[in-house]
Amino acid sequence: MTAPLRSGEPIVVQVALAERAYDIVIGRGLIGSLGTRIKALRPGAKVAIVTDENVAQKHLATAEAALDAAGIEHSAIVVPPGEGSKNFATFEKVCEAIVAARIERSDLIVALGGGVIGDLAGFAAASVRRGLDFVQVPTTLLSQVDSSVGGKTGINSRHGKNLVGAFHQPALVIADTALLDTLSPREFRAGYAEVMKFGLLGDAAFFAWLEANWQDIFAGGQSSGSFAREHAIAVCCRGKAGIVSRDEREIGERALLNLGHTFGHALEAGAGFSQRLLHGEAVALGCVLAFEFSARKGLIAAADATRARAHLEAVGLPTQVKDVSGGVPDVDALMNLIAQDKKVKRGKLTFILVHGIGKAFIANDVDPAEVRAFLTDKLKA
């Protein structure tokens, strides 16, 4: 883990993918540079901005003003907010709107929003005219540290989360930390789950730093906490960029980034992809379950699971199944959802488990009976 940032200069992290390499630019106030950065990236390109109703109300005018100042022709495609927009109907609407706007292969899509918009707009960019370049402008903490980086795009199926999609890398990521000031406390906490996840899976020193500094990250704004926030985002982006550059299509170590997601996605689907359980909240709960399942299998000391849970509880994230508003499905339904996980290979369950904090590993061929017994106990707790 590098030393925390001590200046207001933007941080640039490169995702090294040969001719498809791109930069992640991190700092406050960067949305104002959107036009100049796009003009430098693709001179003469038109832009279609994909966003949702909530983000449009807060940030679309600023993004459009930046494009106007650079003389860039643009249009906007606005969809309803929330996970419910990651569906076939909305995907079709976005694709048709891009075509109607006469966006050509030399033009750009801008994904202005959180993880839902990044996934949806990125998948549309991968599909329309058999592939358009796109720029990610993530507006949530979760999307700045995770979903905007690495090229995973897609929509949900009735069978589970992110089951239809494509690997399609962005041409640029602009992570304006000032945009996070408009998030609700719940949304920010949910995004923090992905920050914490990175420490748990591969960086014990970073996790210890988070335990000591998480309140500064939450403070943000113009205070000294903003540097802690930018530092945390940069650490996560550097770590993910390194993994993606070595394993772009998740045939090996990139699967480690799914720590907490196998349990989490099943719970999220079981809650109907609704406000009952946000994605980051599901990841937090999934990480706790992954650590506790690892402890049950004798892979770690119980103290490690207790430490992970204690930090999430301190932050205010859910750590027990009973914390899910409205409850979750029974164990049979959860096992069916887990069986649809993308890491399943020839019907065998794969989980990301741990040998300790910062020591995640890929566990292939996990016994479904063990998982069922574990979940049965958790549903009773």
* Phi and psi, residue 287, nearest 5°: -65, -45
The interaxial angle of helices 302-315 and 185-202, nearest 10 deg, is 160
- Compute the Cα dihedral for 147, 13, 6, 176 and give only its sign: negative
Would you say 34 and 137 are in contact if contact means Cβ atoms under 8 Å apart?
yes
Alpha-helical runs (H) found in the chain: 34-41, 53-55, 61-69, 88-100, 115-127, 141-142, 185-202, 204-219, 225-246, 261-270, 279-296, 302-315, 331-338, 368-380
Beta bridge partners, 11, equal: 26
| Residues acting as catalytic residues | 130, 152, 194, 240, 250, 254, 258, 261, 265, 279
Q: Which residue has 């998030």 as its token pair?
A: 183
Are residues 164 and 92 in contact, defined by beta-carbon separation less than 8 angstroms? no
Q: How far apart are CA 6 and CA 327, in angstroms?
A: 44
**Alpha carbon distance 353, 371 (integer Å):** 12
Rounded Cα distance, 131 and 104, in Å: 10
Q: What is the DSSP letter of 341?
A: -
What is the three-class DSSP state of 140? Answer: coil
Half-sphere exposure of 293 (CA within 13 A, CB side): 28
Burial of 315 (0-12, 13-18, 19+ CB in 10 A): buried
